[in-house]
Amino acid sequence: MKGPASLVSLGTIDVLIIAIYFALVLIIGFYLKRYTKTGEDFFMAGRGMTSWIAGLSFVAANLGALELMGWSAATYQYGILATHWYWIGAIPAMLFLAIIMMPFYYISKTHSVPGYLQLRFGSSSRALSAVSFGFMTVLMSGINMYSMALVMKVVLGWDIHFSIWVSSVTVAVYVGLGGLLSAIFNEVLQFVLIWAGALLIPIIGLIEAGGWENMVARIKQNVAGMDYVHLWSGTGSFSANPMGIHWVGLVFGLGFVISFGYWTTDFLVVQRVLSAKDLRSAKMAPIIGAAFKMMVPFIVILPGLLGLAVMPGLVGETQAIATGGHSYNEVLPLMMARYLGPGLLGLGITALIAGFMSGMAGNVSAFATVWVYDIYKPLRKKVTDAHLVKVGRWTTILGVLVSIGTAYLVMQFASIMDYVQALFSFFIAPLLATVLFGMLWKRATPAGGFWGLLAGTVSSIGMWAWVKFINPAALSIIALSPDAKPMSENMFRALWSWIIAALVTVVVSFLTKPKPENELVGLVRGCTELPSEGHLKLVQRPIFWAGVVFAVFVILNVIFW
């Protein structure tokens, strides 16, 4: 199982800690099977979760191992700019979901985001959204699975087939048994483990570096000539920061389209909040999630910055392979090996495995729900609830098997990874336009929703293909600057496709007949009477806590400006 070229070496205690983790997640799956008898139990966790559990699960489903390792590596490469993906790229969207959008998702009692589109725009929009989401979700799950197995091979020397099969079979068992309930329980457990395993690295790292000020001084000494320690001050020009990005792209591309698209319409995360026990809990869950999301840079970004300070000289993957040195992609496991002794190292590795499994469980549970409610059920005239649960269990296993198949496909054709990751982003921005207009504009018609979604998706694919296959120089047209880099292109492409989807939705809506208002009750702002929160004390109101989180978000951005 272990090879000679691994970055770290595990002792007996470390292996025991990993084994306990696997045993516990399986025990939880078997224990929760008895509580998942109906479709509502299996697919929506009985709609009985507290705001804390739904909120932690909401943020944990996104906190995968690749997220931890990838953004630590990105920080080593680009500096503190990577924090934008946790703050401007998440917090406003999460708060918007909580206060503005959640009431409509929750009151409509939809099982999924495609299900909301069915209620608002009809079956065409639902089918387009469901098929694209289901397809992309299992493919992404497979890619993440392969990437994680690759990480385990590099870090621990584990056999790639061993990593793929052990982790995916475990996820299939506990999600197949307990459905969303089991996925959510394990996500909360995994969230705690991620913090328990990763928190020591920044603490000890700051002690070694001599505190924040000394760490910054060392970074400036190690990577002179470019600003690696400020969030906004270098984004006035594409060439003044290591990421080659402009604040317009950050604010409107990342902060609006990509972030709002992901956090408010990607069913992988929205499903967790729909499991809340009442509307107030459903509104509080993303706010609690946002508060924790704001803290994640402490265990992801800070280790990358500390790496720049205490381990200078890590290089890109290609150069590392050529020279036999270490790549900055390995910065997090290298920091683990640097600071974590016996037992602690096992906990750190468990945190990575837990992160991977929470991401995968999120994918397969969301896939099973969309497949059963938005693809399978509409094709069948009469189905019993028990039958849907049975299909849900089998779909979970099927989803894992397809993910494994994708992982092996990627192993053979590595370039697939680039394509599918880009494909996934095609659907996010247009879907945001469709859902936003659906919820906030009662004049939006079923035809407007469908054609807007389709036009946005097709234009996004078209822009990507233009740069990838026809003219790489077109990047500078899409991103509005010859200095723009691929990261910037992603943001501007998302922005353009959102604008196209929005324009088509508006134009087609004005040309077609809207739904009568009585059919929009519970779905659209202005047609729906929202429950009053006037009887609640100030500290019990979601809007109060959303304000607190937003104020902290602003203060943090000013501090690290």
Answer yes or no: are the C-beta atoms of 31 and 261 closer than 8 Å. Answer: no
Shortest distance, position 340 Cβ to another protein, whole Å: 6
Closer to another protein by CB, 41 or 266: give it.
41
Residue 315 DSSP SS3: strand
By the rule CB under 8 A, 435 interacts with another protein = no
**Residue corresponding to tokens 């979601």:** 542
By the rule CB under 8 A, 334 interacts with another protein = no
Residue 354: CB atoms within 10 Å: 29
- In angstroms, the CA 153 to CA 168 distance is 16
Closer to another protein by CB, 210 or 526: give it.
210
- How many residues sit close enough to another protein to count as binding (CB under 8 A)? 34
State the Cα angle at 308 between 307 and 309, rounded to 5°: 90
- In angstroms, the CA 58 to CA 284 distance is 11
By the rule CB under 8 A, 50 interacts with another protein = yes
Q: Which one of 6, 7, 13, 441 is in contact with another protein (CB under 8 A)?
A: 13
Nearest to 137 by CA among 273, 270, 272, 268: 268
Closer to another protein by CB, 203 or 555: give it.
203
By the rule CB under 8 A, 35 interacts with another protein = yes
Q: Which one of 2, 3, 16, 443 is in contact with another protein (CB under 8 A)?
A: 16
Shortest distance, position 59 Cβ to another protein, whole Å: 15
Shortest distance, position 339 Cβ to another protein, whole Å: 6
By the rule CB under 8 A, 389 interacts with another protein = no
By the rule CB under 8 A, 196 interacts with another protein = yes
Shortest distance, position 192 Cβ to another protein, whole Å: 5
By the rule CB under 8 A, 340 interacts with another protein = yes
- In angstroms, the CA 354 to CA 350 distance is 6
Closer to another protein by CB, 118 or 275: give it.
275
Longest pairwise C-alpha distance within the chain: 69
- In angstroms, the CA 538 to CA 541 distance is 5
**Residue corresponding to tokens 């999600």:** 175
Residue 92: CB atoms within 10 Å: 20
Segment lying near another protein (by CB under 8 A), choices 200-208, 232-240, 357-365, 380-388: 200-208
- In angstroms, the CA 99 to CA 94 distance is 9
Gyration radius (Cα) of the chain, Å:
23
Six-digit token string for 299: 């265990």
Shortest distance, position 313 Cβ to another protein, whole Å: 16
Residue 19: CB atoms within 10 Å: 12
- Axis-axis angle for helices 160-198, 51-60 (nearest 10): 130
Shortest distance, position 504 Cβ to another protein, whole Å: 44
By the rule CB under 8 A, 204 interacts with another protein = yes
By the rule CB under 8 A, 189 interacts with another protein = yes
Closer to another protein by CB, 25 or 82: give it.
25
By the rule CB under 8 A, 171 interacts with another protein = no
Segment lying near another protein (by CB under 8 A), choices 119-127, 191-199, 378-386, 487-495: 191-199
- In angstroms, the CA 183 to CA 181 distance is 5
**Residue corresponding to tokens 């059919």:** 519
By the rule CB under 8 A, 258 interacts with another protein = no
Closer to another protein by CB, 259 or 350: give it.
350
Segment lying near another protein (by CB under 8 A), choices 43-51, 135-143, 223-231, 359-367: 43-51
- In angstroms, the CA 174 to CA 171 distance is 5
Shortest distance, position 348 Cβ to another protein, whole Å: 11
By the rule CB under 8 A, 28 interacts with another protein = yes
- In angstroms, the CA 170 to CA 296 distance is 26
Q: b/e per residue, 470-482, with b = 16+ CB within 10 A?
A: eeeeebbbbbebe
Shortest distance, position 397 Cβ to another protein, whole Å: 24
- In angstroms, the CA 355 to CA 193 distance is 9
By the rule CB under 8 A, 181 interacts with another protein = yes
Closer to another protein by CB, 23 or 555: give it.
23
By the rule CB under 8 A, 174 interacts with another protein = no
Closer to another protein by CB, 20 or 536: give it.
20
By the rule CB under 8 A, 100 interacts with another protein = no
Contacting residues for 110 by C-beta, under 8 A, at least 6 apart: 116, 118, 119, 274
By the rule CB under 8 A, 441 interacts with another protein = no
Answer yes or no: are the C-beta atoms of 126 and 118 closer than 8 Å. Answer: yes
Shortest distance, position 129 Cβ to another protein, whole Å: 30
From the number of C-beta atoms within 10 Å of its C-beta (0-12, 13-18, 19+), residue 27 rates as: exposed
315 phi/psi in degrees, rounded to 5: -125, 180
Segment lying near another protein (by CB under 8 A), choices 201-209, 254-262, 286-294, 376-384: 201-209
Segment lying near another protein (by CB under 8 A), choices 42-50, 161-169, 452-460, 482-490: 42-50
Closer to another protein by CB, 14 or 67: give it.
14
Shortest distance, position 205 Cβ to another protein, whole Å: 9
Mark 273-292 with x for binding to another protein (rule: CB under 8 A) and - for no binding: ----x---------------
In the 8-state DSSP scheme, what is residue 159?
A: -
By the rule CB under 8 A, 48 interacts with another protein = yes
- In angstroms, the CA 266 to CA 112 distance is 10
By the rule CB under 8 A, 192 interacts with another protein = yes
Instruction: Find the distance separating the first CA and the last CA of the chain, reported in whole Å.
Output: 46
Segment lying near another protein (by CB under 8 A), choices 18-26, 124-132, 219-227, 546-554: 18-26
Q: Given its phi and psi angles, is residue 10 left (phi above 0), alpha (psi -120 to 50 degrees) or beta?
A: beta
Answer yes or no: are the C-beta atoms of 87 and 557 closer than 8 Å. Answer: yes
Q: Which one of 153, 230, 326, 338 is in contact with another protein (CB under 8 A)?
A: 338
Q: Which residues bind another protein (CB under 8 A)?
A: 13, 16-17, 20-21, 24, 28, 31, 35, 48-50, 53, 181, 185, 188-189, 192-193, 196, 200, 204, 207-208, 277, 337-344, 347
